[in-house]
Amino acid sequence: MKKGLIISGLILLLVLLAIEILLPGYYEEKVEMVFRRQVDRVEFLEVNVSTHPALLLLTGRVQNGFIQARGVEFKGLRIESVESAYKDLIIANTPEGTKAVAGRNTFFQATFSEEDLNNYLKAIFTQFEDLNLELTPDLVSLDFKINLFGNVIELKLTGDFVVPDNHTVRFVPHSLEIGQYKITKLVLLKILKDIEFELEMKQYPLPLDLKEIRIEEGRLRVLGGSSQ
């Protein structure tokens, strides 16, 4: 009887040990699957999860998760690199498939290169010619040309990137410099309206809490995350 209890105890201990070792890896693969399924392309992806005890992972809740990725593409937008951390991330089956349905984004940093942003803008603003976004710590400028009644007009738009909500980055124009031509206020207002754009991050596979923007030479960094 005593021997049987010892053997049962050892088997239970081995099962719990196997769960502690194997279950986190299973959920890392599950989070990776969710991420890859909801983006168009990712060049590199690493997922780390931890929950203590690991047995709690069977509820679908990840206590701590950390994701590193490079070359993430969706909706024509490319993120050069991204790091994000989460608390209480819940992965569940939905009518649309397995998804992250809840979780607290405690850290987020995404880097967009000037080249990638220019490729994105040229694809969405086909009505403008020679479009070029330039990122510097002191100035964000957008140079482009328009053809107005047979005249090619060079324009230079300056502005800032802002975070209007927890999943959107928006470019807000401040001033517009025009070449040697004079154009009406109505046309000016239309140009300003047409050139507004957003980096819509709703399709990002995991919960987001975007907070601020940092501009570096040739780089746009989006920061976020909340400890609350």
pLDDT tens readout for residues 47-56: 998 877 766 6
Given a cut of 70, is residue 38 above it in pLDDT?
yes
The set of residues, in sequence order, having a beta carbon less than 8 Å from that of 148 and lying 6+ positions away, is 181, 183, 187
pTM of whole model > 0.95? no
Q: Which residues of 64-92 are buried (b: 16+ CB within 10 A; e: fewer)?
A: ebebebebbebeebbbbbbbbbbbebebe
- The arithmetic mean of pLDDT across residues 113-140, rounded, is 92
Q: Whose CA is closest to 165, among 119, 198, 120, 132?
A: 198
The top-scoring range by mean pLDDT among 4-18, 107-121, 122-136, 202-216 is 107-121
Can you give the pLDDT at residue 188? 62
Residue carrying structure tokens 């940093």:
109
Can you give the pLDDT at residue 19? 53
Can you give the pLDDT at residue 82? 95
Reported as a single tens digit per residue, the pLDDT across 160-198 is 999 999 899 999 888 777 766 555 556 666 666 667 788
Can you give the pLDDT at residue 23? 64
Strands 61-74 and 44-50: antiparallel
Given a cut of 60, is residue 21 above it in pLDDT?
no
